A and B are shown apart, each in its own frame.
Chain A
Amino acid sequence: MIGKTATVPAIAAVALLASTAFASAKTVCYVTAADSHAYATPANVALNDRAKELGIEILSLSQNFDVQTGTEQVSTCIARKADGIILWPLDPQAYIPALARAKQANIPAILINSPMAEQANEFIKSFTGPDVYEEGKLAADSLNEAMKGEGAVVVIAGQAGNGTTIGRVGGFVDRLKETGSKIEVLDTVNADFDQQKALVASRDLITRFGDKITGVYANDDTMARGFIDAWKEANAGKPTPPIVGINGQRDAFDSIRSGEMYSTIVQSPVEDGKLAINTMAEILDGKEVNARLPIPLTVVTKANVDSVEPAF
């Protein structure tokens, strides 16, 4: 009898301890783009490592590049009463209702890596990371510089309908128009961020336009590589036209050194991941944060290729 009465408060005490321990460790829901991806994986790792240092618990959900999964995962985060949500949007619109519900539930949300449409602004605390639209603009400037403001380019884009593709192509085209550049876009093809598809598409583009191509813009370095290989097949020994890529991959750095590529834009996945969780930590501490927190984007050309670290 005595034993039994003693256990009840003991259990209560343990439960209390457990709950306070639970309360002090904040749980942040991280809806990432994918677990298995050259850029997303290091960003996820950096975010998780930094969270551990900060003593924040991360509940990591992977959309596997599927928007529908992602919108449902935000609901999961709300239902699980997370203390904060970090969302990697794959679409500029689709998450808005889910983010609105997060706001109703008083869960602060921030965006990592990609921006969303303006209507999302009232439901998020901040957007951290590179801006894919900005990258498109930087690429336009870089190519404009390489081509001295005139000539004709082909654009090798990512997947049709994908948020990154839309931003990187949109920023590029808008910037050319904005600066009044005389560069003409010969054609835009979708190669789905895939080197082989870019290789095949580039062969056809080179056959079709030949020497008319005086510049190339690829939505990422992988596809730029595809164009370089196709160019070498078709015109052995002839120097490539200026090629601008994005991401700052290691092999793109080699290509810039050897002169096969003109420039790439480095966005560091590690910085991307760290900035997001740091920002979330500040929000959880009750601090105000800026609505837009960019990570540095570095345009890498032959001039600075040896002083910049490749992204991955």
Chain B
Amino acid sequence: MSAFVSTLLRYRVAVILGLTLLVAAMIVPGFVSLTTLSLGLDRGSTIGLIAIGLTVLLIAGQIDLSVGSVFAVAGIVAVMLQPMLGMGPAAVVGVLAGTAAGIVNGCLVVFLRVNSLVATLATMLIFRSIAHWMTASQPIPGTDIMFSITLSEIYLQVFTVRSGLFLVSILLLHVWLTRTVAGRNLFAVGSNALSAEASGISSDRIMFSSFVFASTLAGVAGVLQSLATNTGSPVYGSELTVAVIAAVVVGGTRLEGGRGSALGTLGGVLTIAALTTAMEFQSVPAYMQQVASGLILILLVVLDRTVRTGGKTRRKRCPRLTLFISNR
């Protein structure tokens, strides 16, 4: 019995996802269909792409609050440069703008040793200002609407370009985290940067790359969003960061670093997407949706605690928060 319970707890994200789908299937008419699946996936993929980057960053024990602003900047760059460079190259430059933002974040945290929460709070403001400055606070139209429509086309009745990209990326992340040395090093750095350093892992380099990776993916998501809407807007992504952090944490990745998984994040993203889609089908007001997702967030982190303190391998409790090590 207790084995059953502990299995349930171990796969709690899958359980919650399953329950959400089950309840939705029972009470929401027309929920069970390929269309719903495709919709849910497409809506999850923007949050999902950013969540991939944040999963890596959180495992490394860092956080990035600036992803929403980077999302906006990258999209604006990609749209602004379209008339000069053409669509493809402009999109590439947009993603590179995301990469550049990641380098700024990485420098602040790794070289200047600013705590990542504070550093990215600062860059969140800075990048958002840049987005306003570039656009004079006006949304900018792209050149080709038809491309936007193509981008939202549904293939094999389920996938859009975005959701396909998200699913492939998260599988790659899974392989990288579980099967490669670099992936394991990431966990080592996240659980204890100093001892990782002692065993010959360059924790600075890993953290730096994690920031660059996270911002680049935020850039990819931002560029895709701008292409899909044919618009670059300075207000894009202002509500994103919180949703992404919630999705990653629901997936069992911990802010303290050293723990997390790609499949967990996939579960978290899908849970939030399923929940949103189901509640929207029922016209549940947005604020009640917020209450529901807040409750799920709290429930899952409490369960996470229970698993850890109640499990067999009772690790020594370490209440000293090791999050944001870089300030030490």
- Asked whether the complex places CB atoms of A and B closer than 8 A, the reply is yes
The reply to whether the CB of A62 lies closer than 8 angstroms to some CB of chain B is yes
With A94-B233, A162-B235 in contact, do A35 and B225 touch (Cβ < 8 Å)?
Answer: no
Write the B263-274 contact mask toward A (1 if CB under 8 angstroms, else 0). Answer: 000000000000
- The answer for the CA separation of A166 and B39 in the assembled complex, in Å, is 32
Which of B135, B228, B238, B286 has the most chain A CB atoms inside 10 A of its CB? B286
Would you call A75 and B145 a contact (CB within 8 A)? no
Contact A160:B230 (CB < 8 A) given known A35-B286, A61-B283: no
Most buried by B among A34, A94, A159: A94
Cross-chain contact A97 with B137 (CB below 8 angstroms):
no
Least distance between A50 CB and chain B CB atoms (Å):
16
B183 at the A/B interface (Cβ < 8 Å)?
no
B137 touching A119, Cβ below 8 Å? no
Interface-located stretch among A63-71, A249-257, A273-281: A63-71
Residue of A nearest to B138 (CB): A166
Partner of A161, one of B42, B132, B225, B239: B132
- Beta-carbon contact of A79 and B38 below 8 Å: yes
B229 touches A34 (CB 8 A): no
Q: How many residues of B contact A (CB 8 A)?
A: 40
Confirm or deny: B4 has a beta carbon within 8 angstroms of a beta carbon on chain A: no
Q: B231 an interface residue at 8 Å Cβ cutoff?
A: yes
On whether the beta carbons of B42 and A64 are closer than 8 Å, the reply is no
Would you give the 0/1 interface string for B28-44, flagging 1 where the beta carbon is closer than 8 Å to chain A?
A: 00100001101100110
Distance from A145 Cβ to chain B, minimum over Cβ atoms (Å): 29
Contact of B286 with A60 in the complex, beta carbons under 8 Å: no
A93 touching B231, Cβ below 8 Å: yes
B155 at the interface (CB under 8 A from A): no
Bound CA–CA A75/B228 (angstroms): 11
Interface residues, chain A, CB within 8 Å of chain B? 34-36, 58-69, 71-73, 75-76, 79-80, 91-98, 100-101, 104, 117, 119, 159-162, 166
Of the A-B pairs whose beta carbons lie under 8 Å apart in the complex, a sample of 28, sorted by A's number, is A35-B286, A35-B287, A36-B287, A58-B283, A59-B281, A59-B283, A68-B237, A72-B43, A73-B280, A75-B39, A76-B277, A76-B280, A79-B35, A80-B30, A80-B281, A91-B233, A93-B233, A94-B139, A96-B148, A97-B228, A98-B152, A101-B152, A119-B141, A160-B234, A160-B235, A161-B132, A161-B233, A166-B138
Known interface pairs A62-B285, A80-B35; 19 further A-B residue pairs with C-beta atoms within 8 A, sorted by A's residue number: A34-B286, A36-B287, A59-B283, A64-B286, A66-B238, A68-B237, A72-B43, A75-B39, A79-B39, A80-B281, A93-B141, A93-B231, A97-B145, A100-B145, A100-B148, A160-B234, A161-B137, A161-B233, A161-B234
A-binding residues in B (CB < 8 A): 30, 35-36, 38-39, 42-43, 46, 132, 135, 137-141, 145, 148-149, 151-152, 225, 228-231, 233-240, 277, 280-281, 283, 285-287
